Chain A
Amino acid sequence: MNGIHDIGGMHGLGPVAPVADEPVFHHGWEGRTLALNLLCPTRANIDGRRHERELFPGDRFLVTEYYERWFESLCSLLVKEGTLTPEELASGKADPAAPKATPRLAAANVDAAFSAPGNTYARELGQAPVFEVGGRVRTRRLNPAGHTRLPRYARGAAGIVVHWHGAHVFPDSAAHFRGEDPQHLYTVRFSAAELWGESASPRDFIHLDLWEPYLERA
């Protein structure tokens, strides 16, 4: 979706303001919000969760704190999926008639679960990759209303394939419960001039990881 989250290449958002010796969380609720997001089961996978955060209202997106958006998105997802009713969310009290679940992850297992190797997103795929490393490709001009990982600033642009990662879960499908639909994933190198015009530095290059359906031969 062409949302405000897709921000690469915009101007006017101020200088970067690094903070020295920043705490991991600025407020206690930030850490708890992240933890609730990571612990609470949802039907949505990582892509669906990400898409839910993209659906945060665009007119409030830039003026709302990062973890506040994570909080709102979790609430809206849990209601959408029927895990919580709007009444439960409003009152903070569980419907006494609702069945009680069992937590998936106990405190004693958190460290092991979080530091264990994560689940790979790579998948076996019968068909061979269409593009080869060193080959020239062009990104398609796609404007899907749903989730995509092809940023606006890199659409319709020509670049060189510099790496092939094998096939990975395709977010455009997985975010919308249409299955993993694995697709070959490539790292594509674009010159800054290709993306931003001839005034860009000839020695700047931008690399993006792009799935095969985003690409055509150039």
Chain B
Amino acid sequence: MALRVKALESLLVEKGLIDPEAVDAVVEYFEHKVGPRNGTRVVARAWTDPEFRNRLLADASAAAAELGYSGRMGEHIVAVENGPDVHNLVVCTLCSCYPLPLLGLQPSWYKSAAYRSRAVIDPRGVLEEFGVALPEHVEIRVWDSTSEVRYIVIPERPQGTDVLAEEQLAALVTRNGMIGTALL
């Protein structure tokens, strides 16, 4: 594949369709400038600032932009909140839609046939494969990303974290927690 991709890249450069340095810059952007760290800061702010939490639940794209996070595939973000009786799980059964400005690129498992096929028909079984066993009384809300709306889960704030500052709280938040395949 490496040779075929290189050949296409050279051809597109020769035809003036792309700037080769822009290819490097895009790779650099996804490897180093966007990622789940953005989402962890949004979650930590929501945990510590009730007004921000309300704005996030009302319009997550606008709230994330307050912290400087926006971009393609983040035009219509919806935040869904976990609680003692509700657990949210995000999937895209038709392709691999994902809230890119807040989480970066998808992990392989999110794009896999195994996850995409079963998240909607057997969410509890899928969660068990991630080591998450939810009590039977917990309602599971699966969000299948069929439109340009993108979903991010606000996990429950772990107990005993009252004394932590926002930055320390952000460090507790995981990517899988924001997809719904992990508890914190």
Enumerate chain A interface residues (CB-CB to B < 8 A): 5-11, 13-19, 22, 24-29, 31-36, 38-41, 46, 50, 53, 62, 65-66, 68, 71, 74-75, 83-84, 88-89, 92-94, 98, 100-103, 105-108, 110-111, 114-122, 149-151, 153-154, 163, 165, 168-169, 171, 185, 187, 189, 192, 195-196, 201, 203-211
User: In whole Å, how far is B6's beta carbon from the nearest beta carbon of chain A?
Assistant: 8
Any A CB within 8 A of the CB of B129:
yes
A-B contact pairs, 29 of them (CB 8 A): A6-B94, A7-B93, A8-B93, A8-B116, A8-B120, A9-B117, A10-B121, A11-B121, A17-B109, A22-B107, A27-B1, A32-B27, A36-B8, A38-B26, A46-B148, A50-B95, A71-B5, A88-B11, A92-B7, A98-B15, A103-B16, A110-B25, A116-B71, A117-B61, A151-B146, A185-B147, A185-B149, A204-B123, A211-B147
Chain B residues, CB < 8 A from A195: 120-121
Cross-chain contact of A14 among B7, B114, B141 (Cβ < 8 A):
B114
Cross-chain contact of B148 among A114, A168, A208 (Cβ < 8 A):
A168
Cα of A34 to Cα of B100 in the assembled complex, Å? 13
Q: What is the count of residue pairs linking A and B with beta-carbon distances less than 8 angstroms? A: 269
Any A CB within 8 A of the CB of B152:
no
Give the B interface residue count (CB, 8 A). 84
| A-B CB proximity, top 3 nearest | A8-B93, A107-B21, A209-B147
Whether A28 pairs with B2 at a CB distance below 8 angstroms is: yes
Chain B residues, CB < 8 A from A7: 93-94, 113, 116-117
Query: What does the 1/0 interface line of B1-42 toward A look like (CB < 8 Å)?
Result: 110111111111011111101111111011101110000000
Any A CB within 8 A of the CB of B65:
yes
Chain A residues, CB < 8 A from B118: 10-11, 13, 16
Chain B residues, CB < 8 A from A39: 18-19, 22-23, 26
Whether A16 pairs with B94 at a CB distance below 8 angstroms is: no
Known: A10-B117, A39-B22, A195-B120. 18 other contacts (CB 8 A): A7-B117, A13-B113, A15-B114, A18-B109, A24-B30, A25-B30, A28-B2, A36-B18, A40-B18, A84-B11, A106-B19, A107-B22, A110-B25, A187-B149, A204-B124, A205-B141, A205-B142, A209-B144
Chain B residues, CB < 8 A from A13: 112-114, 117-118
Cα of A83 to Cα of B18 in the assembled complex, Å? 12
Please judge, given known A-B contacts A121-B75, A204-B123, whether A33 and B5 are in contact too, CB under 8 Å. yes
Whether A117 pairs with B71 at a CB distance below 8 angstroms is: yes
Cα of A89 to Cα of B91 in the assembled complex, Å? 35
User: Which residue of A has the minimal Cβ distance to B61?
Assistant: A117
Cα of A96 to Cα of B119 in the assembled complex, Å? 50
Any A CB within 8 A of the CB of B48:
no
Please judge, given known A-B contacts A13-B118, A50-B95, whether A34 and B140 are in contact too, CB under 8 Å. no
Chain B residues, CB < 8 A from A5: 94-95
Chain B residues, CB < 8 A from A34: 26-27, 30, 105
Whether B33 pairs with A101 at a CB distance below 8 angstroms is: no
Cα of A6 to Cα of B72 in the assembled complex, Å? 23
For window 34-61 of B, CB contacts with A under 8 Å fall at 34-35, 61
Cross-chain contact of A36 among B9, B111, B142 (Cβ < 8 A):
B9
User: In whole Å, how far is B121's beta carbon from the nearest beta carbon of chain A?
Assistant: 5
